[in-house]
Structure 1
């Protein structure tokens, strides 16, 4: 890292975003973008009635008086443009089921897709334009945190999860608003002024603050930046190149910053192959352990469990002690073993984690440990794996190792896998027939004259 900073970062990024709607990305990248759009819409449908989503909608409607230009996604309610995008993004990340970029520690879909659809609805954009704006949004969401340095951000107490969606949302909005490169220069400076978010989200219990930091905040602030500039706001010229500007500040000087990453092969290499899907409704690093446990159920066969040991790389303590159910591996282990499966509702249930006596008792017998052997070598991509050993009554042990989960960048989901997941998430709320209509519409997104047609398909 610490490659020499390239010249004209501001102008390069601005030209890329300004040209996004007329670009011709490779078919493989457009297909990936299509699938991530579908995955995000499915998350919104599945999460619409969870508390973070309900609170965000109530708040957005209170600001807009129940009327406005844009739809709150997965509903037929309306609010002002920014308020609607904010509430939709909170809905998309109201639970742990949306996509993520593990190499950047960001979850781009809820914010980027919400902003893109809100602007597309109000400006009459086509499906092809929507798709390209989403692609530009994912590009900035993934590149900015890695350019600043993941270690630098962590040491500064700034959450990648807030920074990436902010710039990604701004890029998607700026593209659809058809701002000029010179105007987009100013978008970046207003993004820099709003860049924030704290790792305090790890202490969140109810997924409300987390949904705000990971999705709602970035959607709101990124869209604000683009709309302010459209309205004539101006700021520091060449903000990302100025030696006294935000990008060159002490927090990001040295360490693991890599400013060249911002523009390296921009428009050729994509962040989309580095974007993962969550196969299960739980936090990304807990997925391998969940899959290993599920694979062990037939071998356990309902036998009494004495103890469980889970070994994993990374920040294992966070997932041992998490106050949030979908991130707490001891809780997830207990409900899988007790229920014989994992369902969306139980994975998010704070009430069950706190009040189910049988679950609490089994959680006490689950040990989470760090396994250095599972860590990636220096300079290698982040790994997510787990080894689970279950000790049964009488001393018998059953063990499973999951080196990866289908959906991780090294082992991506095929289109059929993503569509099956989307159907599973959407059918309970929309019915199977309409859920299949959503899948079909996204499959031919580039032929859609009005991107707003997608909004009606997921509304209820």
Structure 2
């Protein structure tokens, strides 16, 4: 079911169905396929948190959280993931989520324009730590969080949100984190009804993140804000805060406002096959440490390296669909295709640190020289037809000084929902990200623990394994 096929119907009740679903998550038995996908996304997010721990968005968020509430113990102190530091439950969750999205390496749902891993897992692990949840309970909470993170922006209308200047990236994670927290807090359905109303009051975020340079504001909108506010909503409801009953259905409520009534809003998507069909197969892994739409061009450039001498490159032309100008002109290194092309050609590989380096993009004369020779253009032929799923593809043409042209076309990148990564692929990626920080044996221990997540009697094992 999609907004294109099913018009917005204000009469469809969703609040009670959603609340009952969340209240029953721990007793549900998802399919083996979905549970394996859930485990892989837990691993992918943990690896991102390990790799990004010392990047500026993570460092700033950690200092901020510790300044507010750090150092204390007690039942509501939680670990800032990837560290030995503790802060209040909400502050630790905020810092952990910011850490997970401190760089362009975590998962995303392309059809919803959200990146669920860092906010959902940050909230879930913080509550799991303070409430003593098992690995199986953690997994089910995370899977439920992905459901709401992916479903809510589509129910509101991806196009509606963009036209209103509201970032899906803030709203999806808010509902996802709230859901994961509500599951592990074991809130009853009648209390979860109030979680939705406090999520609706906090639903926010703007597309201004596209102007961000250091990835700090982006990490806030995509991860920290949603994790913090979603956990707040669940904790407030648990504490007895009440609000509009049936908030998502009320005629005067947020979800039935004029903003979401027209366009591509589809309330029914929220509950369509809820509990049987999962958003997890629609969730992509990033194979490379760069923004999602830049991945195919990066893959094409890496594939061309054996066929070209980088010193003989006269010009590079990258043809792609979608918002090509954003990736031509992005101030953020991991989103700027001209910069990424330059460092790939110079280094003959793509390095995680180099992909995030503002200093190198601004100050390296060799990089600047190559960037001037890279052209990014729109290719209408690569656009998906109306009603078809979003695609991410690229054609790269390298012009050499001897007159030769070398071309590579990538119609899809491994990790996109249409061409998923295998469990072995995801585990190899996690090892690549974690080994430099943890060492090979400790990284292997994380992979093994997540592989056996449902056998863990205490999910705090994962927190200990990535602590440093």
Q: Normalization by structure 2: what TM-score?
A: 0.97
What's 1:53 paired with?
58
Q: 1:58 to 1:387 in 2, by over 3 A?
A: same
- Which one of 144, 148, 161 corresponds to residue 136 of structure 1? 144
- Which one of 59, 73, 83 corresponds to residue 91 of structure 2? 83
- 8 A contact 2:106–2:118 mirrored in 1: yes
Work out whether 1:17 is the aligned partner of 2:22: yes
What's 1:233 paired with?
241
What's 2:421 paired with?
413
- 8 A contact 1:104–1:145 mirrored in 2: yes
What's 2:367 paired with?
359
Rounded to whole Å, the distance in 1 between the matches of 2:265 and 2:169 is: 17
Question: Which runs of structure 2 are paired with 1:49-448 in the superposition (5 Å)?
Answer: 49-68=54-73, 69-448=77-456
- 8 A contact 1:5–1:258 mirrored in 2: no
Rounded to whole Å, the distance in 2 between the matches of 1:38 and 1:98 is: 10
| 1:84-104 alpha-carbon deviations (Å, 9 max, x no partner) | 000000000000000000000
Task: Give the C-alpha shift of residue 361 in structure 1.
Answer: 1.2
- 8 A contact 2:10–2:249 mirrored in 1: no
Task: Give the C-alpha shift of residue 8 in structure 1.
Answer: 2.4
Rounded to whole Å, the distance in 1 between the matches of 2:71 and 2:361 is: 35
- 8 A contact 1:6–1:259 mirrored in 2: no
Task: Give the C-alpha shift of residue 279 in structure 1.
Answer: 0.3
What's 1:4 paired with?
9
Task: Give the C-alpha shift of residue 6 in structure 1.
Answer: 5.5
Give SS of 1:214's match.
helix
Work out whether 1:36 is the aligned partner of 2:44: no
Structure 2 unaligned runs (5+)?
Answer: none
Give SS of 1:30's match.
helix
Rounded to whole Å, the distance in 1 between the matches of 2:369 and 2:433 is: 31
Rounded to whole Å, the distance in 2 between the matches of 1:214 and 1:3 is: 26
| 1:397-436 alpha-carbon deviations (Å, 9 max, x no partner) | 0000001111000000110000000011001111100100
Task: Give the C-alpha shift of residue 65 in structure 1.
Answer: 3.6
Rounded to whole Å, the distance in 1 between the matches of 2:186 and 2:364 is: 53
Task: Give the C-alpha shift of residue 394 in structure 1.
Answer: 2.2
- Which one of 27, 33, 47 corresponds to residue 32 of structure 2? 27
- 8 A contact 1:191–1:222 mirrored in 2: yes
Give SS of 1:307's match.
strand
Rounded to whole Å, the distance in 1 between the matches of 2:70 and 2:368 is: 44
Give SS of 1:189's match.
helix
Rounded to whole Å, the distance in 1 between the matches of 2:326 and 2:366 is: 23
- 8 A contact 2:10–2:256 mirrored in 1: no
- 8 A contact 1:303–1:392 mirrored in 2: no
Task: Give the C-alpha shift of residue 250 in structure 1.
Answer: 1.6
| 1:247-296 alpha-carbon deviations (Å, 9 max, x no partner) | 01121121111111111000011000000000000000000000000000
Rounded to whole Å, the distance in 2 between the matches of 1:396 and 1:126 is: 59
Give SS of 1:405's match.
coil
Task: Give the C-alpha shift of residue 5 in structure 1.
Answer: 4.2
Q: 1:387 to 1:6 in 2, by over 3 A?
A: farther
Q: Normalization by structure 1: what TM-score?
A: 0.99
- 8 A contact 1:308–1:390 mirrored in 2: yes
- 8 A contact 2:116–2:172 mirrored in 1: yes
| 1:128-155 alpha-carbon deviations (Å, 9 max, x no partner) | 0000000000000000001111110001
| 1:21-51 alpha-carbon deviations (Å, 9 max, x no partner) | 1110001000000000000000000000000
Give SS of 1:449's match.
coil
Give SS of 2:408's match.
strand
- 8 A contact 1:303–1:393 mirrored in 2: no
Rounded to whole Å, the distance in 2 between the matches of 1:437 and 1:126 is: 18
- 8 A contact 1:305–1:392 mirrored in 2: yes
- 8 A contact 2:12–2:267 mirrored in 1: no
Rounded to whole Å, the distance in 2 between the matches of 1:230 and 1:94 is: 30
